[in-house]
Structure 1
């Protein structure tokens, strides 16, 4: 009988004899490989934390003790051990989230799937325990990669300030260069280190960890790189204990008995303790271990034996189009350089880095630093391209505003995964960038509709040296090219009604449809539906959506209704900017904006999410028709209809 099937919660796990744990961890790994292969998801990180997760739930009393996961993509084992074993719809509509989810379980405390925040959460929860007189424990699990983020060190600075406040930090260090034997020695020494009154007597770096020559370099240089592994860059015992943290480790993170022993000692200590666990990403699954790029960090649905995808890719990705063009531009322009925040491969900079290794920098999970460093590069005479997921640029807004834009620096931000991304859930949808960035003076935003436009607009952005530029595109594959049938100002006309056709009379057309980026194809489908109803429709792609094209108000004045379709929040997005521009120009027309409502969206496939929020051609065509009808309806009747319209 399966041991895993009988684990309905941490109490069942605690009841298992120690000699059964090896069998349980093997069952968990087999489950993960087959379940994640069927749906896609984060496989490598979870294979690496099986024993660590088991030990955490055997030592602590979740949910009374708060176990917090930084980033959260390694929480699948935690889900299994807390009674969630139906992975059939993992990351799908109605299924388990790929991250901790408070809606799923009382054992999920936070849903942070952006890195480096967990220590701040832990600091606040530990303070709350102290103020309210609770003796529950707070345990924060953070990876070595997440420790490259500045927020982690801001939190450590505060955590260490209160040496009488219990808080346990577990560093899940999956850098692959450590030998397991080191963990046994460190586990023995840790018994002394966590005893009250013990004075530090050993120097960690020289005797045990003579790994790299960077000791003594500035702290940030030591942390440089997404997954460099902080243990290879400095002597952790000295650093953390100098901050006021007791240091335990390094521990072999795949030795459950050793991890449990370390965690129990940390639990008894009445102050902040750091437990350093060495784990192996992808452990137990040979294909993951042989993947040098990221050890199967994320996989699509695949055959677990051959690792072949279960579904064809469907075409070229936006990321690869960008990556290929960047490599070509790099060969033409020696002033173009690149920055990534721990995501060199996911954002498409692999080819550029291979060709120009001295012109690309991975700064770790440090988007704020990346933006400021880019400002420095631009001021120094280069043109930096900072490639980052759209949702992660939110973290660097102040730096974009005050360091890049205020100083009129020619920095190009390339935002991958813009719009609705779907399966990764609320935190990963790139739905705020065009709203947040609207307020940045001088900044320009391009939203390419196809691969040709991405190539062209990237080059246009790189020709701007006195202001920041943004290129944004989605996660899915690139569709067919969408040719323009005309040009008005800097805008491409994608469709127009035939002369003399119904829906165009007296020099005015019924509807002007402004489409943003990849919503261009959706806009053309809306236009077809409207034309079939006898409604004349002009479809334009502004290409550069910020600032609003100067020719747009005059074009809009030749229509009865303006509609804007974008894959960004309706609040403060392109639709709002268009409405303001028309008002400023004295063009008094109804403007209907279709975009993402101001809410956090549940995980599901992109198409399912768009359907749920009404961003389908049929739904929007119907609402445009209703808006057009209201232009000739009595005012009283129109008032209630407008109220209904505004819920989108």
Structure 2
């Protein structure tokens, strides 16, 4: 069946049995590709039938369809001209894991962060109407993304505007409404019946325009109707916001969804269609453990077991998790907060040990940060664990609610630096830059497992805001020490010192690369000093003063954007001191968004592998 699909329009030509057969083929392709490459398996398996029903009625080559986050958009990619390249999913030079406007004209909007689809859809509907066009605008949003504040901002404004847009709520976990069955299907059929809506509109016009005090009477009736309606029918919240609500309906009943979508297409004003799906549909392992198979690495399709490198060191996430549990055992004021990522941030284990001190606020990073500020203001020691890329969403709260008030909130930034196959929407390469300039905030990055543990302990002992940033994946593999050691804020350490002529100042993940680059340079008779600066802010200025005065070349190394990052901080300090900044060479990420690929591939692309670092330093040193 899949061989017959060359464009989305081909889907509309298929009968029911053909659609069912196609759904099975698509699921197989998704499972095979994710087993080989990793990816967002369970969400995309859950929306195969939904996508087929949707594209039987709407055409993404004409209509604007926005897939929120994009976790559930693999079927969309397969049906929109990328089936032959789907095996390259999330690989360097292949197709991305998320919709991307430059990848296909069917990708109406680039996504990767949650809760943006409805706002984007409203914007597209406004422009459509201004240009007097007649295509449809549809936002497909999952229940997880629906917890994000921006989703409600967009939902509210769309209802206020009264624009013709369709919001499809893909509910596979949150259980917004459990009234799935014959009665809810009956209600859905009534609500999408054009005659029902015409009678409702005609009755309103008759009462308000023909009867004395008609407006008052209609509003009074509305108040009574709303109370009864809220008690008896699903979706009343959406009706109150100005939507025609349809559902909940079975998201695996292709025929019924086609009927709903076809009639919803012709309704006036905003429509919200509530669809219930099963996450991981069609793959038993994913259906039984949807969280485990939400975002996966490579796995064995037959056994469902994840493929792990033999002898791999524990991940930084695991080290953080265990350290926080140990520290919480010593301090009852420590609590942990995350935004819908308990497993990804390592806080799932914490929640099992200290459930009363664990808070998952959903996809609401802004709320998480201000809630933490409130807890800190009341005497708590909250730890907010977020992926670096998602912490960007809470920037104002970090500035205004945490740092301005100098509150002891610890911000733990997982996935700092290049994260690999998830690509530019998920690389955490801007945090040094967007945190470094905030007053009162300490920013630090560990070189290995023990330093992460000690930084977390230091943060718990610090009476002010502090951020700890660490990378994705396996740590360095050093033996983990028992206990903790408090670090002196703003003090680095000299790793090796063979010559003061070339000084390598590194932070975080770049320390080990600097050590290896120094070994390569030694073979070329270029001798160096290697420094683990530890702190992006405050800089160890005393150590800089000591080392720079005798150096011919100062090299900064960071897995962060060069603009405004650690190296910029060193340059600023040296310029303010009146030192010759021309002797400074910076390694980091240039002014571009970095594509997806394996982390070694991307580090190579950015010139951050040890051999590249050594070659660059040797060339520069030879020019001095």
TM-score for the superposition, normalised by structure 1 = 0.87
Q: Is the 8 A contact 1:25 1:50 kept in 2?
A: yes
Q: Which residue of 1 aligns with 2:496?
A: 495
Q: Is the 8 A contact 1:186 1:250 kept in 2?
A: no
Q: Which residue of 2 aligns with 1:421?
A: 419
Q: Is the 8 A contact 1:388 1:415 kept in 2?
A: yes
Q: Deviations along 1:489-536, whole A, 9 cap, x unmatched?
A: 821111111xxxxxx4xxxx2211011111111001111122222222
For the structure 1 residues 588 and 136, does the alpha-carbon distance in structure 2 shift closer, same or farther, using more than 3 Å as the test? same
Q: Which residue of 1 aligns with 2:33?
A: 35
Across the aligned residues of Structure 1 and Structure 2, the Cα RMSD in angstroms comes to 2.0
2:477 alignment partner, one of 480, 490, 496 = 480
- Distance in structure 2 (CA, Å) of the matches to 1:261 and 1:15: 15
For the structure 1 residues 488 and 160, does the alpha-carbon distance in structure 2 shift closer, same or farther, using more than 3 Å as the test? closer
1:10 alignment partner, one of 8, 11, 16 = 8
- Distance in structure 1 (CA, Å) of the matches to 2:70 and 2:355: 31
Q: Deviations along 1:588-629, whole A, 9 cap, x unmatched?
A: 241111001121111111111111121122222222223323
For the structure 1 residues 302 and 36, does the alpha-carbon distance in structure 2 shift closer, same or farther, using more than 3 Å as the test? same
Q: Deviations along 1:38-80, whole A, 9 cap, x unmatched?
A: 2111110011001110011111122210010000011101111
Q: CA deviation at 1:416?
A: 0.5
| 1:274 partnered with 2:276 | no
- Distance in structure 1 (CA, Å) of the matches to 2:241 and 2:113: 25
Q: Is the 8 A contact 1:567 1:596 kept in 2?
A: yes
Q: Which residue of 2 aligns with 1:344?
A: 342
Q: Which residue of 2 aligns with 1:306?
A: 303
- Distance in structure 1 (CA, Å) of the matches to 2:362 and 2:473: 25
Q: Which residue of 2 aligns with 1:104?
A: 103
Q: CA deviation at 1:104?
A: 2.5
SS at match of 2:385: strand
| 1:129 partnered with 2:121 | no
1:517 alignment partner, one of 508, 511, 527 = 508
Q: Is the 8 A contact 1:13 1:58 kept in 2?
A: yes
Q: Is the 8 A contact 2:490 2:539 kept in 1?
A: no
Q: CA deviation at 1:284?
A: 1.4
- Distance in structure 2 (CA, Å) of the matches to 1:529 and 1:312: 27
Residue correspondence of structure 1 range 312-391 to structure 2 within 5 A:
312=309, 314-391=312-389
Q: Is the 8 A contact 2:122 2:154 kept in 1?
A: yes
Q: Is the 8 A contact 2:179 2:248 kept in 1?
A: no
SS at match of 1:475: coil
- Name whichever structure is richer in helix by fraction: 2
| 1:296 partnered with 2:283 | no
Q: CA deviation at 1:180?
A: 4.9
| 1:470 partnered with 2:467 | yes
Q: CA deviation at 1:311?
A: 4.1
Q: CA deviation at 1:97?
A: 1.0
SS at match of 2:552: strand
- Distance in structure 1 (CA, Å) of the matches to 2:489 and 2:419: 31
- Distance in structure 2 (CA, Å) of the matches to 1:576 and 1:443: 17
Q: Which residue of 1 aligns with 2:146?
A: 147
SS at match of 1:306: coil
Q: Which residue of 2 aligns with 1:577?
A: 569
Q: CA deviation at 1:37?
A: 1.1
Q: How many residues align?
A: 586
Q: Deviations along 1:133-179, whole A, 9 cap, x unmatched?
A: 1111100001111111111111112111122x211101011127647
SS at match of 2:474: coil
- Distance in structure 2 (CA, Å) of the matches to 1:520 and 1:176: 43
Q: Which residue of 1 aligns with 2:45?
A: 47
For the structure 1 residues 362 and 245, does the alpha-carbon distance in structure 2 shift closer, same or farther, using more than 3 Å as the test? same
Structure 2: gaps (5+ residues): 202-221, 481-487
Q: CA deviation at 1:344?
A: 0.9
2:247 alignment partner, one of 249, 264, 271 = 249
Q: Is the 8 A contact 2:180 2:248 kept in 1?
A: no
1:430 alignment partner, one of 402, 407, 428 = 428
- Distance in structure 2 (CA, Å) of the matches to 1:40 and 1:489: 39
Q: CA deviation at 1:436?
A: 0.7
Q: CA deviation at 1:300?
A: 1.4
Residue correspondence of structure 1 range 202-241 to structure 2 within 5 A:
203=228, 206-207=231-232, 237-241=235-239
Q: Is the 8 A contact 1:289 1:295 kept in 2?
A: no
Residue correspondence of structure 1 range 437-456 to structure 2 within 5 A:
437-456=435-454
TM-score for the superposition, normalised by structure 2 = 0.90
Q: Which residue of 1 aligns with 2:536?
A: 545
- Distance in structure 2 (CA, Å) of the matches to 1:75 and 1:529: 45
Q: Is the 8 A contact 1:341 1:388 kept in 2?
A: yes
- Distance in structure 1 (CA, Å) of the matches to 2:299 and 2:379: 46
Q: Is the 8 A contact 1:186 1:251 kept in 2?
A: no
| 1:535 partnered with 2:532 | no
Q: CA deviation at 1:447?
A: 0.4
- Distance in structure 2 (CA, Å) of the matches to 1:131 and 1:489: 55
Q: 86-95 or 364-373: which moved more?
A: 86-95
| 1:597 partnered with 2:594 | no
